[in-house]
Amino acid sequence: MNRAASIAATLVAVCLVLAAFASRERPNLELWLAMQGAGSNPEHPRIAMLGDSLVDSVNWRLLLHCDGIGNYGERGATTAQMLARLPHILELKPKLLMVMGGTNDALLDVAPQETIANLRAIEAQATRNGTAYLSFSPPPLPAKAGLLAPIRAAASIAIPFDEGDLSKDHVHLRTSGYAKWRDAAMPIVLNYCAS
């Protein structure tokens, strides 16, 4: 074999190894990329994500494979603040509003009944607007488990988060948590992004 053919064969072998590695690691790479920032929102989102930093810090279009998702999360937002911002989001006429809230309420010792009332008010406004609504259970906070338990139980979709899904600050999610959230949301998202 001449030198050029040997180099070509080596390059092909390296490419095959990289392709095999990439296909095995693609889900982790997508999660990592999605967690690098929210990006810009579509002008007329089919789906609106509402929440706090758990929502704000993620590119949901990439994570859920749907270009029609708008990210309206805001770092530090409580459910009362989400409710106050809701009319602007509903003016965009999304077909579905997906919400995760309650983490900052619990960190601020807001009574769970108040948080649940805010989430129900968000649902009522969305429904009156003709927008479908669903809420996801927030991750557990070891220091605020008692406050979050009723909020988690009131969610439309319970995500099986555990403490291993929390980052070092014991508030935000690691990639394993976002993988669970993606898996819970994907069947619903497919219904709204298919057309």
Percent of the chain with pLDDT over 90: 63
Tens of pLDDT, residue by residue over 94-106, are 999 999 999 999 9
- The more confident residue out of 6 and 163 is 163
**Strands (E) located in the chain:** 47-51, 69-73, 96-100, 132-135
Whole-number Å distance between alpha carbons of 169 and 48 = 27
Q: How would you class 85 by CB atoms within 10 Å of its CB: exposed for 0-12, middle for 13-18, buried for 19 or more?
A: middle
Q: Express each pLDDT in 8-25 by its tens digit.
A: 566 555 444 444 444 444
Contact 63, 30 (CB under 8 A): yes
Q: Starting at the edge strand that comes first in sequence, how are the strands of the sheet with 47-51 ordered?
A: 69-73, 47-51, 96-100, 132-135
Please tell me which residue, 121 or 23, carries the higher pLDDT value. Answer: 121
**What is the pTM for the complete model shown?**
0.81
Per-residue tokens: 155: 């969610």
The span from the CA of 46 to the CA of 151, in Å, is 26
Residue 113 has pLDDT above 70, yes or no: yes
**pLDDT reading at 163 higher than 50:** yes
Rg (the chain; Cα; Å): 20
Q: What is the pLDDT, as a whole number, of residue 4?
A: 63
